[in-house]
Amino acid sequence: MTFELALWYEPEPISREEARDFYQKAELPPETSRKLAAALPGATVDGAFVIAPDELTDEVGNAAFVFAREHDLVCYDPQRHLIHNREPLGAYRDVQLHTGNGMVVHDPDLNLVNDVLETLSAQNPFMALVVYGHHFVQVSPGYEVDFKESGVIRTTTTPDQAAVRRIVLLYLVGDRSFLDTHEWTVRG
């Protein structure tokens, strides 16, 4: 089995639906395609398309997201139906998005984070946004939210996906007002 990604230039952020409709027509200049191939050992690069064996999904996918960010490209993952745009970004330039199904994205755009929240399931049991050495927020299905900062872990649970989305997006833009809008249990 294999997985596929597509990378291309878009002047503005696009939705997952727009990416799904466009990605098969994606194109990259030959020089960019050659650079992409050099950055992704173990993968086959055919123009704007990256194809790799399933056992390299995480390694190649994460490297492709980094390449896209460094070269001002979008990166679409048709299996996960997720688009990684160049913007809008949050307040933390060194934040990493980690998912329970192995995806790691450095400096994820806010729309990608929002879309990943919708994929929480038994196959993707968590989403974490981490600024190593400083703080993190993690969300699990059932909407248990953990927030750690200054060595203190706070936990809350809400059945409301919109409330979780607000917590995560406020966290990403550096706004801690979400701590006042929910009842949190302090651990550790």
User: Order of strands, edge to edge, in the sheet holding 2-8?
Assistant: 44-46, 49-53, 2-8, 74-77, 82-84
Domain range for 119 = 87-188
116 and 77 both lie in a single domain: no
pTM for the full predicted model:
0.81
End position of a domain, from candidates 64, 86, 108: 86
Identity at 37, one-letter amino acid code: A
Supply the mean pLDDT for the chain: 92
81 and 98 both lie in a single domain: no
Q: Name the pLDDT band for 107 (thresholds 50, 70, 90).
A: confident
- Cα separation of 83 and 132, whole Å? 24
pLDDT in tens, 25-46: 999 999 999 999 999 988 999 9
Q: How many domains does the chain have?
A: 2
72 and 107 both lie in a single domain: no
pLDDT in tens, 45-68: 999 999 999 888 888 888 998 899
pLDDT in tens, 71-96: 999 999 998 899 999 888 888 888 99
Residue whose structure tokens are 């050099």: 38
Residue whose structure tokens are 């650079």: 35
91 and 75 both lie in a single domain: no
1 and 34 both lie in a single domain: yes
